[in-house]
Amino acid sequence: MRPLLNTLLLSAAALSLTACGSMMMSQGPSAMSTLQARSGSSVSGTVKFVQHGDHVMATVNVAGLKPNQEHGFHIHDKGDCSGPDGMSAGGHFNPTAKPHGPQTSDHHGGDMPALKADASGNATATFHLTSVTVADGPTSIVGRSLIVHKDPDDYTTQPTGNSGARVACGVIAKAM
C-alpha cells in the first residue's frame, strides 16, 4: 500500500508542477504605466499589461476619481504625457482603422472598458483586451499612453466616445 501512496503523491506533485509551468509559459511580455494627474485633477494609479496568447490582460488600480462614476479609459496613440491637459497623447490608438466602440464589437485597439469608481473614488479592475499586443509589432501598446477621462464613455460618439477632459495620463513602458 505504501508504494502506491508514494506513486500517487509523486504523480500529483508532477501534475501540479506541469500545470504551474504551463501557466507561466502562457504569459508573454509585460508592460507597466504609472498614471499622473492632468487637467487639475488628483487622479493617479498604475496599470500592468501582460500578454496571454492572443489577448492582453490589464490590471488597473486608480485613485482620485469622482466617486460612484464611470470614467472613459483609453490607450492613446502617442507616448507623450507632457501636456498639462493630456492632449499631447494624441487620439485613440487605432492600428486596424476600426470605429470607436466596446470590446464586444468593432473597436479601436485603444478602446478599453470603463473604470468604475467606488464611493471613495477608487477603481480596481482586471480585464482582457483584444486586437492589441505587448509584444513588438504594429498593434503593440508599448510606447503609447493611457488616458483616464473625466466622464463615462458612450461607446457611440466617433471617434472619442465623448468622455470629456483627460484627468490622468501615463506612458506604457515595457516591464523588465
Q: What is the pLDDT of residues 93-119, one digit of tens each?
A: 999 889 888 878 788 888 899 999 999
Domain-located, residue 4 = no
Q: pLDDT tens across 140-172, in order?
A: 999 999 999 999 999 889 988 899 999 999 999
Rounding to the nearest 10 degrees, give the CA dihedral for residues 45, 82, 89, 56.
-40
Domain-located, residue 140 = yes
Domain-located, residue 91 = yes
User: Annotated catalytic sites, by residue?
Assistant: 74, 76, 92, 100, 108, 111, 149, 166
* Domain CATH for 34: 2.60.40.200
Q: pLDDT tens across 67-90, in order?
A: 999 999 999 999 999 999 999 999
Domain-located, residue 143 = yes
Query: What is the total count of domains within the chain?
Result: 1
Q: pLDDT tens across 1-12, in order?
A: 455 444 443 444
At 131 the three-state DSSP class reads coil
pLDDT score at 152: 95
12 neighbors 4 (Cβ within 8 angstroms): no
pTM for the whole structure = 0.83
Domain-located, residue 54 = yes
Q: pLDDT tens across 40-55, in order?
A: 999 999 999 999 998 9
Pairing of strands 55-63, 44-52: antiparallel
Strand partners, 170: 146
Domain-located, residue 134 = yes
Whether the predicted pLDDT of 24 surpasses 80: no
Domain that holds residue 71: 27-174
173: Cα separation from own chain's centroid? 12
Whether the predicted pLDDT of 31 surpasses 90: yes
Q: What is the largest CA-CA distance in the chain?
A: 72
171 neighbors 33 (Cβ within 8 angstroms): yes
Domain-located, residue 46 = yes
Query: Which burial class, exposed, middle or buried, applies to 3 when counting CB atoms under 10 A from its CB (0-12, 13-18, 19+)?
Result: exposed
Domain-located, residue 15 = no
pLDDT score at 108: 80
Query: Which burial class, exposed, middle or buried, applies to 157 when counting CB atoms under 10 A from its CB (0-12, 13-18, 19+)?
Result: exposed
pLDDT score at 32: 98
pLDDT score at 110: 84
Whether the predicted pLDDT of 62 surpasses 50: yes
